[in-house]
Amino acid sequence: MSVPFSEEQQRRFDEELARVLARYPADRKSAALLPALRLAQQILGWLPPAALEHVAGRLGVSACRAREVATFYVMMRPEPLGRHLVEVCTNVSCSLRGAESLLEHLEQRLGIRSGQTTSDKRVTLREAECLASCGTAPCLQVDEEHLENVTPETIDQLLAQLD
Amino acid sequence: MPLANVLTNHWGEPGVDTLAGYQQRGGYGSLRKALELAPAQVVDEVKRSNLRGRGGAGFPTGLKWSFLPKDDPRPRYLCVNGDESEPGTFKDRYCIEKSPHQLLEGIAITAWAIGAHTAYVYLRGELATQARILERAIDEAREAGILGPKLCGRDFALEVHVHLGAGAYICGEETALLESLEGKKGWPRLKPPFPAVSGLFGCPTIVNNVETLATVPAILAMGGERYAALGTEKSGGTRLVSVSGAVRKPGVYEITLDTTFRQIVEEICGGVPGGRKVKAVIPGGSSCPVLTAEQLDVAAEYEALKAIGSMAGSGGVVVLDESTCMVRVAWRIARFYAEESCGQCTPCREGTPWMARILRHLEEGRAAEGDLALLKGLTGSILGRTLCPLGDAAAMPVRAFLDKFRAEFEAHLRERRCPFPHPWGEQADELFAGAGRGET
C-alpha cells in the first residue's frame, strides 16, 4: 500500500485520528470513517486513492467502502479541486435575495462557469444546496467557512484575499 | 402575544454561551432537579408536557422515549439530530450558537431519563463553527464535573461527542443519520425495527432534534403541565420558526402555537419590502405544501396545518411575494430533492430529476402539451412509494405549487416563456442590482 502522507503529515494524522477514535466503541472503529476521511482531506487537500486505501486500512474497512463514502457526500473530494473552494447557495431563500446574480457575478470575475476551476488552480466555483443561512442570505461557503449577507463588495474583498 | 421566551429567554445576553454565564442564570438547575427524580419520572414529566419533535415529523417526544425495550442488556445511545438541511430552516444552529449549554443540559437530562451513557451530536458537515462552539461547551462542562464519568457527581457516566457529517440532506432522516454515524453512506433503513429497538450499532437508540432537546430543561424547570398549557391540546409549549425570503426582518423567532402566518409576516417580521403583497408562504421547510395568500390566517402549528393539507415541518417559513414566479420556485425545490435523493428507491431516484426537468422546461418555455398532467402523475408515482420520506418531501411541494398556482403554470405553457421580468422577484434584483446581470 502506498503511503499518501509525508512523515510530518503522518504524525498529524495519527495524532488526530487517535483523538477521533476515542469517541467510538473500540470494536466500532469504522464509525470514524467520515471524520477520518475529512482529516486526511484537510491534510492533503483532497482524497487520492492512496489516502482512501490508507484510511480504510486503519479502520478495518474495504477501500471500496471508503470510496463509496467519499463519493456519496458532497464535502468529500475524491478529485482534486482548486486551492480554494467557493460555493454559492442558490436554494430558494438565497435566490430570493439575489444568489443567481451573485453566482453570475462570480463567474464573470473569475472567468469560469459554475463547476469549473480557474486555469491557475486558484479557485473552484460551484453551487451549494441550502447552508442553513436563510435569514442571512445570500450565503457563500469559502473553504468550509460561511460568509453571510453577501454583497458585490464582499465578493470583491473576498477575491482579493484568496491567494 | 405571538412572541414567546420559554426557550429563548436568555439568548443574546452577554456570556450566556459560557458555562459561568449559563449557571448565573440558573443553568443546569433542571439537570440537578432531574437527577433527584427516577428516570421514569423524568420521562413522565416530558410526556405530560406534550412536547413534540421539532425536526419535522412532530412525533411526541416522551412517547418516543418510552419505546425503548425494558430489561435489555445492550448499551443505549442518544443521538442528537443537528443535520439541519431542510431548505428554509436555520434554527438549530442558533440553538447551538446562542446557548450551547442549554442543549447540553437537555442532552444530559434526556440521557438520564433513557439510561444512555453516550450521546452523539450529529451536526451537518457545513456547521464547523457551531461544532467548535459545542465542543468548547462540552469541554467546559466536563472540566466542571457536570459531564463525564460522574454526571453532576452522581454515579452515572455521560460522554457527549460531536460527529460532523459531510454534506448530505438525507442524513437528517433518522436511520440515514445512524448509517452515516456508523461510517457509511446515508441510505435510510427499512423500518421496523425502529431505532428505539435497534439503532446505532444495533443497540436501542433515541434520535431527537436539537431544538427538541434544548427545550427539555425549560420543561423540567416549569413542570410538564405548565409547559403543555402554553400550547394546544395536542402540542405543548412554544416553538421556533426560521423566517426568510420576502420579509424586512428575517430571523429565528420563538412563537406561541396560536400565532398565524399573517402575524409572523406582518407583526414579527415587519412585512414585505417594497410595499409588495404576499403571494405564498412555505410554512415549514421546502417539503411542506405551500400556502396561498388566502391561507395566512392559519396558525403555524401542527394540527392546524395538517387540517389544511400542509405540515408544520421544521419551522422553516419562506415568504414569497407577488413578483416571484412560482414555477421558478417549484423548479428549484424539485432540483434540490433530485440532487439529494440517495438513489436507493427507484420512484425517488428516477422521479425527482424527471419532475425537475419538466419544471425547467416550463420555466424556459420548452414544455410540451401534456407536461402538466405528466408532472401531476409523477407526484402520484412517488408519494408513499419510498423507504423514507424524501420522496414525499419532493412530490408534495411540487403538487401543491401546481394545484394552487395552476394559472401561472398554464401561462408558462401558453406563452412558451416565463412571464415574470425577474423570476426570483424584485427583491432579488434590488439587492443585487448591477452585479452580474447584463454586464457582458
Q: What are phi and psi of A112, to 5 degrees?
A: -135, 165
Concatenating the DSSP letter of every residue in B119-180 gives: EEEEE-TT-HHHHHHHHHHHHHHHHTTSSBSSGGGSS--BEEEEEE--S-GGGGSHHHHHHH
Topology classification of domain B238-321:
Ubiquitin-like (UB roll) (3.10.20)
Report yes or no: B150 and B114 within 8 Å, Cβ to Cβ.
Answer: no
Helix, strand or coil for residue B335? helix
Spatial separation of the C-alpha atoms in residues A58 and A15, rounded to whole Å? 13
Q: Flag whether pLDDT at A98 surpasses 90.
A: yes
A104 → chain B, closest CA residue: B436
Q: Looking at this protein, which amino acid is placed at residue B142?
A: R
Q: How far B106 CA lies from chain A's nearest CA (Å)?
A: 20
Cell numbers linked to A70: 467519499
Q: Distance (Å, rounded) from C-alpha B208 to C-alpha B167?
A: 20
Axis crossing angle, helix B371-382 with helix B390-404, rounded to the nearest 10? 150
What pLDDT score does B158 carry?
A: 98
Q: Whole-angstrom Cα distance, residue B34 to residue B109?
A: 6
Query: Are A34 and B329 inside 8 Å of each other by CB?
Result: no
Q: Alpha-carbon distance B144 to B411, whole Å?
A: 64
Chain B residues lying within 8 Å of A32, measured CB to CB:
183
Q: Is the dihedral of CA B386, B392, B398, B402 positive or negative?
A: positive
3-state secondary structure of B209: strand
pLDDT tens for B290-300 read 999 999 999 99
- Judge whether B181 is closer than 8 Å to chain A, CB to CB: yes
Q: Looking at residue B433, what is its pLDDT?
A: 65
* pLDDT (mean) for A134-156: 93
Q: Cβ of A105 and B243 within 8 Å? A: no
- Count chain A–chain B contacts defined by CB atoms under 8 A: 179
> Does A31 contact B at CB distance below 8 Å?
yes
Q: How many CB atoms lie within 10 A of CB B58?
A: 22
Would you state the cell numbers that stand for residue B13, as one nine-digit string?
Answer: 445576553
Closest approach of A3 to chain B, Cα-based (Å): 22
- Closest partner CB to B428 (pick from A30, A59, A98): A98
Q: Which of residues 106-135 of A touch B (CB under 8 A)?
A: 106-108, 129-135
The grid cell for B187 is: 441510505
Task: Report the mean per-residue pLDDT for chain A.
Answer: 96
B166·A25 Cβ contact <8 A: no
Q: Please, are residues B167 and B186 in contact by the beta-carbon 8 Å criterion?
A: no
Chain-chain contact of A100 with B428 (C-beta, under 8 angstroms): yes
Query: Do A98 and B316 lie within an 8 Å CB cutoff?
Result: no
pLDDT of residue B430: 83
Q: Answer yes or no: do B184 and A69 touch at CB < 8 A.
A: yes
Phi/psi zone of residue B77: left (φ > 0), alpha (ψ -120 to 50 degrees), beta?
A: beta
What distance in Å separates the CA atoms of residue A88 and residue B337, rounded to the nearest whole number?
17
Count of Cβ atoms closer than 10 Å to residue B275 Cβ? 7
By residue count, chain A amounts to 163
Q: Which of B78, B93, B99, B139 is nearest to B15 (CA)?
A: B99
* ipTM higher than threshold 0.85: yes
Task: Give the sheet arrangement for strand B159-164, strand by strand.
Answer: B159-164, B118-123, B77-82, B205-209
- Pairwise CA distance, residues B423 & B408, whole Å: 12
Q: Which residues in chain B have their CB less than 8 angstroms from residue A105's CB?
A: 432, 435-436
Q: Is B28 helix (H, G, I), strand (E, B) or coil?
A: coil
Give pLDDT < 70 ranges for chain B.
1, 433-440
Multiple choice CATH, B326-433, 1.20.1440.230, 1.10.3720.10, 2.40.33.10, 2.60.120.560: 1.20.1440.230
pLDDT grade for A1, boundaries at 50, 70 and 90: low
Q: What is each CA distance from B330 to A90, B143, B357, B362, B382, in whole angstroms?
A: 13, 49, 11, 11, 16
B163 near A CB under 8 A? yes
Query: What are the phi and psi torsion angles at B327 (to 5°)?
Result: -70, -40
- The domain segmentation of chain A, as residue ranges, is 7-72, 84-161
- Sign of the alpha-carbon dihedral angle for B132, B135, B137, B143: negative
Chain B residues whose beta carbon lies within 8 Å of the beta carbon of residue A35: 163-164
Give the model's pLDDT for residue A152: 87
Tell me which chain B residues have a C-beta less than 8 angstroms from the C-beta of A77: none
CATH annotation of A84-161: 3.40.30.10
CATH of B19-229, one of 3.40.50.11540, 3.20.20.70, 1.20.140.10, 3.60.90.10: 3.40.50.11540
How far is residue B49 from each of residues B38, B61, B104, B325, B385, measured CA to CA in Å?
17, 9, 20, 42, 34
Q: How far is B63 from chain A (nearest CA, A)?
A: 28
Contacts with B87 from chain A: Cβ below 8 Å: 91-93, 129-130, 134
- Mutate which: A77, A96, A125, A140, vs B, most B CBs within 10 A: A96
Minimal C-alpha gap between B110 and chain A (Å): 19
Residue numbers in B near A23 (CB within 8 A): 120, 159, 161, 163
- Closest-CA residue of B relative to A140 is B126
User: Using one digit for the tens of pLDDT, what is the confidence trace for A16-29?
Assistant: 999 999 999 999 99
Backbone angles phi, psi at B197, to 5 degrees: -95, -45
Task: Please write the tens of the pLDDT for every residue from B50-62.
Answer: 999 999 989 999 9
Nearest to B112 by CA among B57, B175, B46: B46
Domain A7-72 belongs to what topology?
Arc Repressor Mutant, subunit A (1.10.10)
3-state secondary structure of B260: strand
At B435 the pLDDT is 47
Exposure b/e, B160-197, CB count within 10 A at least 16 = b = bebbbbbbbbbbbbbbbbbbbbbbbbbbbbeeeebbbb
Question: Concatenated DSSP letters for B384-401?
Answer: T-SSSTHHHHHHHHHHHH
Distance from CA of A154 to the nearest CA of B (A): 12
Task: Answer yes or no: do B185 and A69 touch at CB < 8 A.
Answer: yes
Whether A7 shows a pLDDT value over 90: the answer reads yes
Question: Are the CB atoms for B65 and B40 separated by under 8 Å?
Answer: no
Query: Do A95 and B85 lie within an 8 Å CB cutoff?
Result: no
Which residue in B287, B332, B230 sits closest to A129, CA to CA? B332
Domain spans, chain B: 19-229, 238-321, 326-433
